[in-house]
Amino acid sequence: MIAAVALSLQGLHKAFDGSPILRGVDLELRAGERCALIGPNGAGKSSLFHLVSGRYRADAGRITLHGVDITRQSPQQINRLGLARSFQITSLFPRLSAFENVRCALLWTLGYRYAFWRRMGGSHEASARALTVLQQVGLAARADVAAGELSYAEQRALELAVTIAADASVILLDEPTAGMSRAESAAMVALIREVTMGKTLLMVEHDMQVVFDLADRIAVMDNGRVIACDTAPRIRANEDVQALYLDRRRHG
């Protein structure tokens, strides 16, 4: 049986100040697969994430999430439809506890304004879910610690908790292991594997060890297009991909 398509990107174009950055991106993710997005600096990976999550508007093309057109939806609408993304630069509130960070993310998805939530004392459902998610990422014992006082690896785990809190079916992660030691990175890979079980994952990642450990398929971006998307052995054997990386090595 062929799995349903969870996320489909068709002919996406985006230019900044007249310079084309995305030049017709096509990519299809099947429900439940984990896909790593790789490619040289400036290929357009972050811009693509911004388009899919609703932060940027596409100039042309179409994005569908479980068959629903989300091309012109706001980030919050897209989030409510079941797509959540993490950010490369930390988006945590450093003075709020780990618990409050997760609860706040949940209430944002539900549509509450943060100030309103503070006045109301928060919903019981969100509190219970926040604790469950913190347990899932191994931070239950650190729930009351301010996010800014957590270790770097713990902050990355908290970012993951914030991203998965509302139980989105499609998760976008931006370099989840960047800046981690080999051991921390291996622990993060195990964690991501566990919390994305049964979900669809698209992950920008530069660490090829992480890519090979986690991804069912690898999408390679170059110069604003996805030039290949396939299993690791086929990507390794792909002549366009080989040429891209050999060329980069030659030209620095």
Per CB under 6 A, the list member of 7, 38, 43, 219 interacting with ligand ATP is 43
Q: Which helix (H) or strand (E) holds 120?
A: helix 114-120
* Separation of first and last alpha carbons in the chain: 44
Per CB under 6 A, the list member of 46, 73, 79, 86 interacting with ligand ATP is 46
- Is 39 near ligand ATP (CB under 6 A)? yes
Piece in contact with ligand ATP (CB under 6 A), picked from 35-43, 97-105, 154-162, 182-190: 35-43
Binding-site size, ligand ATP (CB under 6 A): 10
Between 90 and 109, whose beta carbon lies closer to ligand ATP?
90
| Other residues' Cβ atoms within 10 Å of the Cβ of residue 206 | 15
- Cβ contacts of 60-63, under 8 Å, gap ≥ 24: 60/11, 60/12, 60/13, 61/9, 61/10, 61/11, 61/12, 61/13, 61/24, 61/25, 62/8, 62/9, 62/10, 62/11, 62/12, 63/7, 63/8, 63/9, 63/10, 63/12
Between 39 and 82, whose beta carbon lies closer to ligand ATP?
39
Between 51 and 104, whose beta carbon lies closer to ligand ATP?
51
Piece in contact with ligand ATP (CB under 6 A), picked from 39-47, 103-111, 117-125, 230-238: 39-47
- Is 21 near ligand ATP (CB under 6 A)? yes
Residues that bind ligand ATP (CB under 6 A): 16, 21, 39, 41-47
